Chains A and B, each alone.
Chain A
């Protein structure tokens, strides 16, 4: 079934990117298949966020090719298949008068044609998404009046409300307490296992995610490693790179 999909959901070939003259990504090639749970790891400034933004068409690569769902990014139009939790979600303007419900409703727009209006049926989807992240009680709360971790959950609800095929999360648990983190990763695990949503997760919590992921990409301007979890644990290239932290990611709990 899903393993024999005719094309990878994400196809990246020979991508280079520089901010001005600072090279940030060099010759990145990778594929993400349906059903994968990919963890992208790497130190601060290694280009993780940049890579995701290029894949999603927010930034344009200097060279290289991107395909989503077998379609060239330039002509891609099935945006409702994507969910995205940006890293900057944790830095929102706390004075912006927008309720949790309004933020989650934004996630429904990708599946709509002009004029993109929110209907009665949409309200149900919004409620369900909020329940899924345990935030049903905060539906009418202004986003600025929620804690950082609660805000993060609202952004996750926004990303999954449209039932995407693939979910991109850029350090979604920054500022989230340990207990909530564990529950959150359990949620991601079940989205991946039960709902068959492909997940791409940028993270620094390499220890915590190891029991869910099946693929790992290790980035530091170049793609140092990209492959499945087992290979990753045996790889000697990674050993130097992680300086002893590899066991954290390979020890399945």
Chain B
């Protein structure tokens, strides 16, 4: 019997592929904006959001989303208004998030299985009801990125010139932060809060290694994310290993592969065209 005939596997694949693609796409923008660590920071803050949900018996994904979005905007504002480096802002806020989370979890008396699934992910156990809300949110994030693709690219590349083109740079940055918050909460479903940052960084970093233009970088990042999810889930199924760890390890292998490929290609170009022609300065 094919593993695809299991309902839980179908759901895991569907959610995993879509969510990982969203994270990979966002990750390309974040890395180039030198904001690669924002996923890491938001994950810690989202932990407080989950703990809050568990304490007050609300849907933890909902409270997580709320806390993540507010934190993301907080990081943007802190950098902007207080003139603090982004990584410092992330360092401070994520510590607050973790501290608050630990206290909330202890108050809720819920150091238990459900908390573990938020920390380590449990994509193979995703319920049909959760699947639809996750797919809806992930699709929304994806559509928004597509609609603002050119503006996001321009702002990421050269924000001052983007502003002179009438692009609302600050609004766009706040939007990107909110999208990232949504991606962290979604990624939490797939690989858990402890590994969600990897989903935002590794496939994108691999795509960036090999790309000759920006669109290629996005496409490659998505391909690598999808391949990692497929391999990770199959490994998890056949060898009974955690899906989260498998997905991220496969993504890391892809990253190493991309490094090697880049070296190889550079070497080949040098070999084929001779040392002088590969980087022609003057076309006259």
Q: Please, which residues of chain A bring their CB within 8 A of the CB of B208?
A: 95, 97
Contact partner of B150 (CB less than 8 A), chosen from A56, A96, A99, A109, is A109
Question: Is the beta-carbon distance between B213 and A102 smaller than 8 angstroms?
Answer: yes
Main secondary structure of the interface of B (DSSP, over half): helix
- Given A115-B148, A116-B151, A145-B279, check contact A97 B217 (CB 8 Å): yes
A88 to B148 alpha-carbon distance, docked (Å): 25
Contact partner of B158 (CB less than 8 A), chosen from A86, A97, A99, A116, is A86
A16 to B158 alpha-carbon distance, docked (Å): 26
A47-90 with Cβ < 8 A to chain B: 53, 56-58, 77, 79-80, 82, 84, 86, 88-89
A131 in the interface, Cβ–Cβ < 8 Å?
A: no
Q: Please, which residues of chain B bring their CB within 8 A of the CB of A106?
A: 150, 153-154, 157-158, 161-162, 165
Contact partner of A58 (CB less than 8 A), chosen from B151, B164, B282, is B164
Question: Is the beta-carbon distance between B281 and A142 smaller than 8 angstroms?
Answer: no
Top 7 closest A-B pairs, CB basis? A79-B166, A110-B165, A99-B213, A97-B211, A106-B154, A147-B281, A115-B147
Q: In which size bucket is the chain A interface? A: 35 or more
8 more contacts with CB within 8 A, not counting A86-B161, A97-B216, A105-B150, are: A58-B163, A77-B166, A79-B166, A84-B164, A86-B160, A95-B208, A96-B32, A150-B281
- Given A114-B147, A117-B150, A142-B213, check contact A137 B283 (CB 8 Å): yes
Q: Kindly provide the distance from the CB of B244 to the nearest chain A CB, expressed in whole angstroms.
A: 29
Q: Kindly provide the distance from the CB of B13 to the nearest chain A CB, expressed in whole angstroms.
A: 29
- What's the count of A-B pairs with C-beta under 8 Å? 86
A140 in the interface, Cβ–Cβ < 8 Å?
A: yes
A187 in the interface, Cβ–Cβ < 8 Å?
A: no
Most A CB contacts (10 A, CB to CB) among B147, B158, B160 go to B158
A103 in the interface, Cβ–Cβ < 8 Å?
A: yes
Q: Kindly provide the distance from the CB of A176 to the nearest chain B CB, expressed in whole angstroms.
A: 11
B67-98 with Cβ < 8 A to chain A: none
A117 to B282 alpha-carbon distance, docked (Å): 33
B167 in the interface, Cβ–Cβ < 8 Å?
A: yes
Q: Kindly provide the distance from the CB of B239 to the nearest chain A CB, expressed in whole angstroms.
A: 36
A137 to B284 alpha-carbon distance, docked (Å): 12
Question: Is the beta-carbon distance between A98 and B279 smaller than 8 angstroms?
Answer: no
- Chain B 149-182, CB-CB to A under 8 Å as 1, else 0, gives 0110110011011111111000000000000000
B237 in the interface, Cβ–Cβ < 8 Å?
A: no
Contact partner of B212 (CB less than 8 A), chosen from A79, A134, A140, is A140
Q: Kindly provide the distance from the CB of B247 to the nearest chain A CB, expressed in whole angstroms.
A: 24
A118 in the interface, Cβ–Cβ < 8 Å?
A: yes
Most B CB contacts (10 A, CB to CB) among A106, A140, A147 go to A106
Question: Is the beta-carbon distance between A56 and B166 smaller than 8 angstroms?
Answer: no
B111 in the interface, Cβ–Cβ < 8 Å?
A: no
Contact partner of A84 (CB less than 8 A), chosen from B161, B211, B214, B283, is B161
B215 in the interface, Cβ–Cβ < 8 Å?
A: yes
Contact partner of A97 (CB less than 8 A), chosen from B148, B151, B212, is B212
Residue of A nearest to B166 (CB): A79
Residue of A nearest to B34 (CB): A93
Q: Kindly provide the distance from the CB of B73 to the nearest chain A CB, expressed in whole angstroms.
A: 22
Most B CB contacts (10 A, CB to CB) among A84, A97, A106 go to A97
- Chain B 213-254, CB-CB to A under 8 Å as 1, else 0, gives 111110000000000000000000000000000000000000
- Chain B 267-284, CB-CB to A under 8 Å as 1, else 0, gives 000000000000101110
Q: Please, which residues of chain A bring their CB within 8 A of the CB of B165?
A: 79, 106-107, 109-110
Residue of A nearest to B159 (CB): A58
A150 to B160 alpha-carbon distance, docked (Å): 21
Most B CB contacts (10 A, CB to CB) among A98, A116, A150 go to A98
A158 to B150 alpha-carbon distance, docked (Å): 14
18 A-B contact pairs sorted by A residue (CB < 8 Å) = A53-B160, A79-B165, A89-B158, A92-B157, A97-B213, A97-B216, A99-B214, A101-B213, A102-B213, A102-B214, A103-B157, A106-B157, A106-B165, A110-B164, A115-B148, A118-B150, A137-B283, A140-B213
Residue of B nearest to A52 (CB): B164
Residue of B nearest to A106 (CB): B154
- Given A86-B158, A97-B216, check contact A79 B211 (CB 8 Å): no
Most B CB contacts (10 A, CB to CB) among A89, A116, A134 go to A116
Q: Kindly provide the distance from the CB of B141 to the nearest chain A CB, expressed in whole angstroms.
A: 16
Question: Is the beta-carbon distance between A97 and B164 smaller than 8 angstroms?
Answer: no
Residue of A nearest to B163 (CB): A58
Q: Please, which residues of chain B bring their CB within 8 A of the CB of A114?
A: 147
